[in-house]
């Protein structure tokens, strides 16, 4: 038991305050709504945060190196629509179509990385341009129409629950979370991200390929957004060009709430996952209490401001 406690402390080091906030939110909504504190609702929250969580893994790496990716929601939609388009219009087997969709997401991320690293565009501008371009392409490929009627095996990824509660989509999220946590924590390539975020010039002089690493990080972000798009397709059983609209805001919010600094050099997977669940619990709890999506947006915005302000105060104290 002591070993488990020590391991948990190491994993969640630096995120105790955020984790406490998640507990407080859970207690509050449990008291405010009779439907919140139930196994069925917790499973529902897990389902809801899967797509957000996978995208947040990539965003964590981007923010650690001092970047930002505003295009993740649009890349998700583009990957979805390309998958549905090549399957529906060209008869490509769906499993190959899914791989093509993920590949397109990776290419979009690669373009972001090249624009930031080699054309020296600010990450905000480069990814804002991709946000618009990817969303436009998602509509162009299918003339803005939905695609539905996918084979049953795709929807089963989200519907069929193994061990009584966990679908394949959630297993993918768990696997990717463990993999990303291990890479950031124990691999040299992961530790290099913190060096780049702390000071890119010092990192370059230390022998780190800053440009190449930046391109890889943005490519991974696009890759994970592509995977998220496929899993969202499985959950909805349809491809919608408007999918993922404003998802980038929730993703950035989750990472920042989880303790990452927008100035770079700070952040971690454990904190991001806690941040993802805070966003999921907030949206779920506010839904159960009858608040509109507009009010939810205001609350999420206030939480982001609080998280960034807290990060600023911490820096002043140092």
Helix, strand or coil, per DSSP, at residue 92:
coil
- Top pLDDT among 21 and 29 is at 29
**Closest C-alpha to 15, from 274, 276, 281:** 274
Percent of the chain with pLDDT over 70: 92
Average pLDDT over residues 88-105: 94
Annotated domain spans of the chain: 39-245
Instruction: List phi, psi (to 5°) of 265.
Output: 85, -5
SS3 content of the chain, % helix, strand, coil (to 5): 75, 0, 20
How far the first Cα of the chain sits from its last, in Å, is: 35
Instruction: Give 222-274 pLDDT, tens digit per residue.
Output: 999 999 999 999 998 899 999 988 899 889 989 998 888 888 998 999 999 99
| Pair 255, 275: CB distance under 8 Å | yes
- Top pLDDT among 108 and 160 is at 108
Is the pLDDT at 4 greater than 80, yes or no?
no
Average pLDDT over residues 134-155: 90
The confidence band for 7, taking pLDDT boundaries of 50, 70 and 90, is very low
The confidence band for 65, taking pLDDT boundaries of 50, 70 and 90, is very high
Chain-wide mean pLDDT for the chain?
A: 88
Q: How far apart are CA 275 and CA 300, in angstroms?
A: 11
- Say what the pLDDT of residue 5 is: 46
Is the pLDDT at 104 greater than 80, yes or no?
yes
Q: How far apart are CA 54 and CA 59, in angstroms?
A: 9
The confidence band for 143, taking pLDDT boundaries of 50, 70 and 90, is confident
Task: Give the pTM.
Answer: 0.90
Instruction: Give 171-192 pLDDT, tens digit per residue.
Output: 999 999 999 999 999 999 999 9
247-257 and 39-64 helices, crossing angle to 10°? 80
Exposed, middle or buried, 305 (CB in 10 Å: 0-12/13-18/19+)?
exposed
Q: How far apart are CA 218 and CA 204, in angstroms?
A: 18
């Amino acid at each position: 038991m002591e070993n488990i406690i020590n391991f948990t402390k190491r994993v969640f080091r630096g995120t105790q305050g955020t984790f406490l906030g998640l507990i407080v939110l859970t207690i509050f909504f449990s008291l405010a709504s009779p439907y919140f504190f139930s196994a069925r609702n917790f499973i529902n929250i897990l389902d809801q945060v899967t797509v957000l969580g996978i995208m947040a893994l990539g965003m964590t790496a981007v923010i650690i190196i001092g970047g930002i990716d505003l295009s993740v929601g649009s890349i998700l939609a583009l990957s979805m629509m390309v998958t549905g388009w090549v399957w529906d219009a060209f008869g490509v087997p769906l499993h190959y179509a899914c791989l093509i969709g993920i590949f397109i997401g990776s290419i979009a991320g690669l373009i972001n990385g090249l624009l930031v690293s080699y054309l020296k565009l600010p990450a905000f501008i480069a990814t804002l341009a991709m946000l618009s371009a990817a969303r436009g392409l998602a509509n162009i490929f299918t003339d803005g129409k939905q695609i539905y009627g996918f084979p049953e095996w795709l929807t089963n990824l989200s519907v069929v629950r193994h061990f009584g509660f966990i679908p394949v989509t959630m297993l993918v999220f768990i696997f990717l979370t463990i993999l990303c946590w291990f890479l950031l924590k124990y691999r040299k390539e992961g530790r290099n991200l913190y060096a780049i975020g702390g000071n890119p010039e010092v990192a370059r002089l230390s022998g780190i390929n800053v440009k190449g690493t930046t391109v890889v990080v943005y490519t991974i972000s696009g890759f994970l957004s592509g995977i998220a798009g496929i899993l969202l397709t499985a959950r909805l059983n349809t491809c919608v060009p408007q999918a993922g609209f404003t998802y980038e805001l929730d993703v950035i919010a989750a990472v920042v709430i989880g303790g990452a600094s927008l100035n770079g050099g700070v952040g971690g997977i454990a904190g991001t996952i806690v941040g993802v669940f805070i966003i999921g619990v907030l949206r779920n709890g506010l839904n159960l209490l009858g608040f509109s999506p507009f009010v939810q947006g205001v609350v999420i915005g206030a939480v982001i401001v609080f998280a960034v302000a807290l990060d600023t105060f911490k820096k002043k104290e140092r």
